Amino acid sequence: MNKGIFKADLYRIFKSKLSFVSLILAVGFPLFMSLMYYGIDLMMNALDDTEDMMFSLFNVRTLIASAYSLSDNLGLIIPIFAAIFVSLDSTNGTMRNKIISGASRTKVYLSHLFASMLYNAIIITIYALFTILFGLIFFDWGVEFAGEEVTRFIYLVIIGTMTFIYIATISTLLALILNNVAPAIIFTVLISVGLGLATTVIRLIDYEDFKYLVYLIPTFSTGSALLFNPTIDNIMFIEGVLSLVVFGGLNTFLGILVFRKKELK
């Protein structure tokens, strides 16, 4: 990867207004969600007929699990912004200039990919940290934060962050192949939401007999799958990491292969 191109891609991303917007959202969404849930919790607890109902959903545990979801709040926005950053480099002509100046297509592709990965990882980490911060102001963790719960949390953070790094391999592939902002955004969102819906549906059925195959689906071992299991599922975590690495690698290989043969306009 060309360091000069990589620095230029990072500069374009983190100096853009979209990065500033995503940073505001990474702080604003956790505050809004915490305040909203706190208000709902107060209202429901004030009703006599619901006094004994379980409102344990309103705790830091559930907030942090949803923070890493691809179909909630910033989880939908991050892949969109990442696709826009890459697509604009193609549509404004700078992509072609990089190739003309002597940079190989592989290095150009990898520069965009790693810049998107870094952007995704930074924004989702900020989002998760503020989710925990504001969550702890209004709620408790939900259970005792010790022993297996700490391990679950560590698994969640690792898999959650890797999921958004993995999504960068999809958004980069689509943005550089389609060479158009709108289709890249649409297909990135469809794939992200589709993966989320597929894993949700699978969790509703009895998949015990083929769980090791299910665990290989990228994004399956995220959020509640790891945090709310009665026991720690080390196999799910390991296969989750492997699936994200393997399928992310395949996306990268396919993207480079197609991009090297693609005609640039």
3-state secondary structure 26-37: HHHHHHHHHHHH
Place of tokens 């043969």: 261
Q: What is the C-alpha to C-alpha distance for residues 140 and 138, in angstroms, rounded to an integer? A: 7
- Across 125-135, average pLDDT: 94
Report field, pTM of the whole predicted structure over 0.75 = yes
Confidence of residue 49 (pLDDT cuts 50, 70, 90): low
* Gyration radius of the chain's alpha carbons: 20
Distance (Å) of CA 260 to CA 73, 101, 226: 35, 16, 39
> In degrees to the nearest 10, what's the CA dihedral of 55, 60, 64, 67?
70
Q: What is the mean pLDDT of residues 34-43?
A: 82
pLDDT tens digit sequence for 150-209: 888 898 899 999 999 999 999 999 988 887 788 888 888 888 888 878 777 877 777 777
- Rounded distance, CA 84 to CA 193, Å? 18
Residue 209 is predicted with a pLDDT of: 74
The three-class DSSP label of residue 63 is: helix
DSSP string computed for 36-75: HHHHHHHHHHTSGGGTTS--TTSSHHHHHHHHT-TTSTHH
Name residues whose C-beta falls within 8 Å of residue 76's C-beta, 6 or more positions apart in sequence: 70, 189, 192, 193
More confident residue, 126 or 178: 126
**Residue 173 Cα distances to 243, 249, 255, 260, angstroms:** 18, 11, 5, 12
Q: Is the predicted pLDDT of residue 248 greater than 90, yes or no?
A: yes
pLDDT score recorded for residue 3: 74
Alpha-carbon distance of 182 to 90, in angstroms, equals 13
Q: What is the pLDDT of residue 230?
A: 67
In one letter, which amino acid is 194?
G
Beta strands in the chain (DSSP E): none
